[in-house]
Amino acid sequence: MSELEIIEAALFAAGRAVSLEKLAKISGKPKKTILSVLRELMEDYASRETGMEIVDLGERYVMQVKPEYSELIRMVAPKELSAPKLRTLSMIAYHQPLLQSDLIEMRGSGAYEHIRDLIERGFVDSVPCGRSRQLSTTLLFADYFGLKRNDPQAIKEKIIGLLKEDAGQSEINRWIGKKTVAVTPMYESLMGMCGIKDYLVINAYSPSKEDLSRLLEVDVLVISAGYLEEVRQHCDGEILEMHSTTFEDLIEAVSTIAEELQDEVNPETVEKTLDNLRETRGKYLSSTLLIKKKVQPATDMVSKIVNDLNLGVSADGVLIAPDYGTSKSGAKIGKGAEILLPTHRTVEGDLFRRVCLKYDAVLDGLKKIED
């Protein structure tokens, strides 16, 4: 038998990638000779009208069905990993090294059987780690999925790339164990403040058919405070109610999201955002020190801003009211007000800008009156 025939037979029989060193040992020839044979064999298969190919995975070689024929032969191919086991494997690969206890928390007790099978198949390594075990992928895993190396970052990118071909972001999140986060349009800027890049924007208050369908996929939904009962009938996920009237509201909102969505936020972005909010609030408080006029808030919203600015309050003080004039119930708000505050009904922009505009309106208005 020639070296070429031996190498071809070895790759066919292996059914997975074989190292150059192993092939050299099987043939009894030097690596340099086997490398030359492999190149000849790869060129031969590339020139044939055949459904097979030989792929170089970096000093590991595999004989496999060409990608364009994969779907055609699926019905006659051996049964591989079930969808639940594949999802468990994907989560190990994406989060590796991953504690078994953390995986069970994400996937449930049924994952114990998945882990045993994946270890037996040689896709996953398991080593003791405290009271649990640490799970990671193997070289065989890389071979199976056509990766040149068993590199965690490359594997993570490969998983996301494969899922994006056939799935939306929420489906990708489910496969890799991340939460699907959604916000109402007004709170989209809050995601940027927390460094969250993957999220959905949904009108949860009066949802369209498309919005209703998307709400069923949501794990965590961020909404304005006061709408919980209205939104709960559409969403089974966790609902976070947020206030955004004052800087203290924004600080609390960012802190809450950072605590509730630890795996989704960017800690550095959260820290910078909180520092900026506290610094900006401090500057506004400094501006109020010289203001002697007392104020009369027309609504609870105005009261929150006045209190956050440490302004004096009096029944005969300067009347401050929101600029919408009429409440949802039709009541007149702040008739004769000397200062009107811009609200979300009249101002567009991110949450930070909206709060600044409210504070500016109060302080600028008081300064004009005092002058």
DSSP annotation string for 271-293: HHHHHHHHHHHHHHHHHHTT---
Same domain, yes or no, for 199 and 160? no
Instruction: Establish if 215 belongs to a structural domain.
Output: yes
- Residue 247: domain span: 181-275
Instruction: Establish if 209 belongs to a structural domain.
Output: yes
CATH at residue 253: 3.40.50.1980
* Count of domains forming the chain: 4
pLDDT in tens, 208-239: 888 888 888 788 899 999 899 889 888 878 89
Same domain, yes or no, for 62 and 107? no
Instruction: Establish if 207 belongs to a structural domain.
Output: yes
pLDDT in tens, 290-335: 888 999 999 899 999 999 999 999 999 999 998 876 655 556 776 7
DSSP state of 146: T
**Mean pLDDT of the region 4-32:** 85
**Mean pLDDT of the region 171-199:** 84
Domain termination residue (choose one: 43, 69, 95): 69
Instruction: Please choose, from the candidates 151, 146, 142, 141, the residue with its C-alpha nearest in 3D space to the C-alpha of residue 118.
Output: 141
Domain termination residue (choose one: 47, 69, 91): 69
Instruction: Establish if 280 belongs to a structural domain.
Output: no
CATH at residue 47: 1.10.10.10
Q: Is the pLDDT of residue 77 over 50?
A: no
Same domain, yes or no, for 188 and 239? yes
Domain termination residue (choose one: 275, 301, 322): 275
CB of 277 closer than 8 Å to CB of 359: no
Same domain, yes or no, for 229 and 152? no
Whole-model pTM over 0.85: no
Same domain, yes or no, for 90 and 160? yes
Instruction: Establish if 140 belongs to a structural domain.
Output: yes
